[in-house]
Amino acid sequence: MTRGDPLTFTLAADDFDVSLLPPNARDRNTQAFREAARSYLQGEFSRFGGWATVQVHAQNIEVSWTPDGQPPDPIEQIIGKLERRDYSGAITLLQLFLSDRPNDVNLLYNLGMALSDVGKVSEAAEHLQHAIDLAPDHINAHVALGVALQREGQSARAIEVLSAAVQQAPDNVWAQRNLGACLLAAGRTDDAEACLRKAILISPDDQQSWFGLAQALERSGKTADADAAYHKTIDVDEFSQIAEMARKALSKIAHSGFRDRLAGVERPDAVMYCLGAIERLEKLPVSEMQRITFEIARLGSNGLDVDDPAQKYHLKSLEGSFSGLHLVCLMYVGFKMFAPDQDIGFDLSKEYATAQALHGQKRAQ
């Protein structure tokens, strides 16, 4: 773009995302829509510097923009919108700029990515394929196309595209990770595990790769390795959404092993822990009960080892040493007492019911 060059962009009125406008201006056949759309785009282009004129017609929208001497890069600002997940605003602007530069690979790639993220995968695939046709070495465009195809349900085609990307750029962590995810979804767990291990070698702190590897290991029956991979997932960033998913998976693994060892019947040790918890917690004020229960929940956010009988855990709110199963029983009973609908992800209903019956018998004596 040279200094002062006027640019003209067009967008079909039907392609303007009305969610960007106030509810009373979303009918494209009204003057309110035309005024609101003009005002919105005028405001967006004012951030790019220069001068812009917006005209909203019945069928299309026209923007004439003359940048000033050194305007801020509009594409960087649009990508900033994508990073803030303002997809509607970013897609509208990307479509406008693409009307002037239909073969701009960067525009095609970012528009394809954005459309894929909002579920418009067929349209996304078209833009991404166009970008690849123009720039065959654009590996991330290949990967984004593979992701869009997978989202569209074209698993075999997605694996084909992503496999080609990995062959072309074996050190691209995004390519390896997404190929692994597609292979896992297709039931090819061994191949998925191999890809995800390569992704971790490339980027040891890639949380999504660790989570994907843990899932592959779990599905292959490698429970101990999956457990370790889920813990590593949490260690990378304990506050992320993926870490929360890993915690739920760890709880599921622990519960599955807990039940499998006795073919689904009650665990006598858990019954006695639940009975002790009932007797201990019922004597406490609700606030104290909550303090103990919430402390256990925080401690257990990274998983409690219910298989190890060693009393290796300690609480600030309760004296003594506890095993992992003992703490889970205390937490289960605590929530049953003050928040009975709370699901802790570990089913002790059988043990709790038996403990309640035993407690009733003891009180009746």
Whether the CB-CB separation of 329 and 351 falls below 8 Å is answered with yes
One-letter amino acid of 2: T
**CA distances, 262 to each of 71, 188, 225, 256, 354 (Å):** 70, 31, 22, 11, 16
Q: Centre a 10 Å sphere on the Cβ of residue 328 and count the other Cβ atoms it contains.
A: 28
Whether the CB-CB separation of 271 and 290 falls below 8 Å is answered with no
Tens digits of per-residue pLDDT, 48-80?
888 999 999 999 999 999 987 665 678 889 999
Tens digits of per-residue pLDDT, 123-152?
999 999 999 999 999 999 999 999 999 999
- C-alpha torsion angle, residues 82, 86, 92, 95 (rounded to 10): 10
Contacts 24+ apart (CB under 8 A), 210-217: 210/236, 211/242, 211/245, 211/246, 212/177, 212/180, 212/181, 212/184, 213/180, 214/246, 214/249, 215/184, 215/249, 216/180, 216/184, 216/189, 216/192, 217/193
Euclidean distance between CA atoms 363 and 111, whole angstroms: 69
One-letter amino acid of 154: Q
User: Residue 203 pLDDT > 90, yes or no?
Assistant: yes
- C-alpha torsion angle, residues 222, 224, 226, 228 (rounded to 10): -150
Structure tokens at 330: 């205390």
User: Residue 1 pLDDT > 80, yes or no?
Assistant: no
Tens digits of per-residue pLDDT, 318-333?
999 999 889 999 999 9
Euclidean distance between CA atoms 67 and 85, whole angstroms: 26
Q: Is the pTM of this model over 0.85?
A: no
Whether the CB-CB separation of 272 and 309 falls below 8 Å is answered with no
Q: Centre a 10 Å sphere on the Cβ of residue 116 and count the other Cβ atoms it contains.
A: 24
Alpha carbon 184 to its chain centroid, in Å, reads 17
3-class secondary-structure state, position 115: helix
Q: Centre a 10 Å sphere on the Cβ of residue 336 and count the other Cβ atoms it contains.
A: 21
Helix 241-260, helix 207-219: angle, nearest 10: 20
Q: Report the pLDDT averaged over residues 152-180.
A: 96
Average pLDDT, the chain: 91
Q: Please state the φ and ψ torsions of residue 316, each to the nearest 5 degrees.
A: -80, -30
Q: Classify residue 128 as exposed, middle or buried by CB count within 10 Å of its CB (0-12, 13-18, 19+).
A: buried
Tens digits of per-residue pLDDT, 89-123?
999 999 999 999 999 999 999 999 999 999 999 99
The yes or no reply on domain 188-260 and CATH 3.10.450.50 is no
Whether the CB-CB separation of 192 and 220 falls below 8 Å is answered with no
**Percent share of the chain, pLDDT over 90:** 72
Which stretch of 10-19, 103-112, 229-238, 300-309 has the lowest confidence by average pLDDT? 300-309
Q: Where are the domains of the chain?
A: 1-102, 188-260, 268-364
3-class secondary-structure state, position 11: strand
